[in-house]
Amino acid sequence: MDMWKCLKEGRQLPIPDEDTLVFWEGCRRRRLLIQQCDDCHAFRFPPSPLCPQCSSSMATWRQDSGRGEVLTFCVYHSELAGPAWRSKLPYVVTVVELLQSRVKMLGNLMVTDPDLVRIGLEVRLEFETIDNRITLPQFRPLSDCEGSRGLQSRSKR
C-alpha cells in the first residue's frame, strides 16, 4: 500500500488537533505525556477523547520516563516514504513498549548500525526538534554499545 502516501517532497509532520494538542505541546516541552483514565486507570496511546476500556471521558496526562523495550522493528532500505527520507537510509522504525505505562509507541531507533538491533533491546526516549511547533519522541539504545545488548529472552506472552 505504499506508493500513495508520504510522497510529498518534505517529511510528513503531525498536525496537532483538539485531541492531540496536549501530547504534542508536552513533546515541545520535552515531556512524554500519556493519558491515564481517572476511572479504570488504564493508560492509552495515541491520545483519545474516551477510554477504550471503560468509555470514561475523565483522564489525566501522566509524564512517562520514556524507558522501554523494542517489541519489533523494520529497516527501510528504500525511499518508499518519499524523497525526504533518502538521506536517512537505512533507517529503523520500531515499536517500543514503555516500561512505565505499558503503552506501545512507534518511533525511529537512532542507531548507526541497524544490523545490531534486536527485539528486546532496551531503549530510552530522546526528543527530536523538527521546528518551533513539532518535536518528535524518538528512541535510542540504553547501552552505549548500541544494539549489542539485546535481551535474548523471549518476551512474556
DSSP string, 81-123: T-GGGGGG-SEEEEEEEETTT--EEEEEB--S-GGG--TT-EE
Complex with another protein: residue 16 or 126, whichever CB lies closer: 16
Interactions with another protein, residue window 45-84 (CB under 8 A): 46, 52, 71-78, 80-81
120 in Cβ contact with 150 (< 8 Å): yes
User: Least distance from C-beta 153 to another protein, angstroms?
Assistant: 11
37 in Cβ contact with 54 (< 8 Å): yes
Complex with another protein: residue 144 or 153, whichever CB lies closer: 153
For the chain, give percent helix, strand, coil, nearest 5: 10, 35, 55
Q: Which of 85, 126, 127, 149 binds another protein (CB under 8 A)?
A: 85
Q: Which of 41, 102, 104, 133 binds another protein (CB under 8 A)?
A: 104
Q: Which of 105, 121, 123, 125 binds another protein (CB under 8 A)?
A: 105
Interactions with another protein, residue window 135-154 (CB under 8 A): 136, 154
98 in Cβ contact with 83 (< 8 Å): no
CA torsion sign, 79 to 87 to 67 to 50?
negative
Q: Which residues bind another protein (CB under 8 A)?
A: 1-7, 11-16, 20, 46, 52, 71-78, 80-81, 85, 88, 90-91, 93-95, 97, 104-108, 114, 119, 130, 134, 136, 154, 157
